[in-house]
Amino acid sequence: MKGALLVAGTCSDAGKSVVVAGICRALRRRGVRVAPFKAQNMALNSAVTRAGEEIGRAQAAQAQACGLDPEAAMNPVLIKPSGERRSQVIVMGSPIADVDAKGYQRLKAALRPRVLEALDSLRERYDAVICEGAGSPAEINLREHDIANLGLARRAEMPVVVVGDIDRGGVLAALYGTLALLEPDDQRLIAGWLVNKFRGDPDILEPGLDRLRELTGRSTLGVLPWRGGLWLDAEDSLALEGPRDGALPPLGADGIEVAVVRMRWMSNFTDFDALAAEPGVSVRFTRVPSDVRRADLVVLPGTKATVEDLAELRERGLDRALAERAATRGPVLGICGGYQMLGRVLHDEVESGEGRVEGLGLLPVETRFQPEKRLAWTSGRVPLLGSAPVRGYEIRHGRMTRCGGAPLIETEAGEEGCVSGAVLGTSLHGAAEGDGFRRALLSWVAGRRGLSFVPGRAAFGAVREARLDALGDLVERHADVDALCALIEQGAPPGLPTLAAGPPNVREMLGGAA
């Protein structure tokens, strides 16, 4: 096998990321050397590679589905919104510019060669490259300079399958309309459909799929049923709106409730996947002060717009709720931007340009933002938690200076983070994925809250592997993997029909009814 496939979607959060991961795992089981690719990713969830490159978190998970270490070529362009109108552009793992939407469109011509070079590199080294599109390929206002969907597929002569989320409703119209809005040279690469998140009787759906095939000349290559508990490493914050199925009952008498303060520009909310996978641990994303007061552990997550989110936190009265927790020694954990907020003062001429901003004053820390972003892996031990080992990655412009308290982590290079009372702060993302640190942290929280809590025994790495296997199972059982392999090897079939924008005949579609 030698080739590539683009998995596009009718909308954001249609399930492209998990479908790509599932296809990658299914192909790997067949002995195919497969790699993931997403040309342009707009996401606030990111990861750091072994080489110190920043890429989208979803591509890091897809690499694991392939049995690979993630690398910058798998996501050559990452866009991280840093406010309503501006974003940081990261190319091949390093930030190159902060631009508005129009500025980014002007930048695309220069980015296209870098994207194609990255894709060519993967195609040379692997048998198959499974590419993930961005948003919808039918965003015709962006088509001229597109480098992520049909613009990429046309340049690389890649077949395309389109994923639709049936759980939202209107999936047949969304699939048909996506095709009809494309220009003819784009339509010829659309080779088939995948229906995602199906609940119900397949016999009832079948006539609709038959009619879709008649109208478009393209078959549905799979109907993937809804499966709970597959939310690991979600890319889009829309995924937080739905329930997180699959929570395990506590092993002891009590569970632990974790409240994560939901911020407008929250980044790396996947930091809490490992906590939510623990038996008896409930993770809630919230903006409600009463949740902050009640929870056993409150977490301020990372953010790409620290000063802006800090202002909104105050507007919602969450600053007062956090101060009350600290006064009563209720556990609080700040991660990266959340850690910076907990400090006394922030000096920001880089992200917000606001200069000096008062922090929440719950940790004796001062933060000064620097133009150069720190991207690194850090490991050490946590004295507060019985010298539990910890390892995580840093993605930050802020440089923190501790003016009191104690360091949270002792590293070979020195100290990291801060502890004052029951308020903890660290710059490390992904720390909770370490089994020793996570269990020690939860046990410490349980001790402070007087809870009879028993940590789980499963390694989080095994949990993630099991969920990637579940995705592979889903694709193998409910999609035509042989047909997908044929597309990868042979490309889109010749002579596929071209649709005009709009239905071919309304009366025909209604079966002749007036």
Over 60: is that where the pLDDT of 484 sits? yes
Same domain, 220 and 325: no
What is the pLDDT of the chain when averaged over all its residues? 92
* Domain-terminating residue out of 415, 432, 455: 455
Same domain, 209 and 278: no
The confidence score (pLDDT) of residue 235 equals 57
81 lies in some domain: no
* Domain-terminating residue out of 435, 455, 475: 455
74 lies in some domain: no
Burial of 224 (0-12, 13-18, 19+ CB in 10 A): buried
Closest Cα to residue 66, out of 16, 131, 138?
131
- Residue pair 299/262 in contact by the 8 Å Cβ criterion: no
* Domain-terminating residue out of 412, 430, 455: 455
The confidence score (pLDDT) of residue 232 equals 59
For residue 174, the domain's CATH number is 3.40.50.300
Same domain, 333 and 355: yes
Instruction: Supply the pTM of this predicted model.
Output: 0.90
Least confident stretch, 96-105, 239-248, 279-288: 239-248
What values do phi and psi take at 417, rounded to 5? 80, -175
Closest Cα to residue 28, out of 476, 514, 417?
476
Long-range contacts of 173-178 (CB under 8 A, 24+ apart): 174/10, 174/11, 175/10, 175/212, 175/216, 176/212, 176/215, 176/216, 176/499, 177/138, 178/8, 178/10, 178/136, 178/137, 178/138
Same domain, 113 and 180: yes
Same domain, 405 and 334: yes
Tell me which amino acid residue 86 is.
Answer: R
Mark out the alpha helices in 402-480 (DSSP H runs). Answer: 435-449, 460-478
Same domain, 449 and 364: yes
26 lies in some domain: yes
Same domain, 205 and 264: no
The confidence score (pLDDT) of residue 104 equals 87
Same domain, 267 and 351: yes
The number of beta carbons lying within 10 Å of the beta carbon of residue 221 is 19
237 lies in some domain: no
Tell me which amino acid residue 229 is.
Answer: G
Number of domains forming the structure of the chain: 2
Query: Using alpha carbons only, what angle is made at residue 302 by residues 299 and 303, rounded to the nearest 5 degrees?
Result: 130
Same domain, 364 and 493: no
Verify whether residue 397 is a known catalytic residue. no
284 lies in some domain: yes
- How far is 208 from 165, CA to CA, in rounded Å? 15
List 11, 24, 131, 336, catalytic entry? 336
Verify whether residue 418 is a known catalytic residue. no
* Percentage of the chain exceeding pLDDT 70: 94
Domain that holds residue 428: 252-455
Same domain, 12 and 140: yes
Same domain, 223 and 118: yes
pLDDT in tens, 249-274: 999 999 999 999 999 999 888 889 99
List 24, 131, 418, 429, catalytic entry? 429
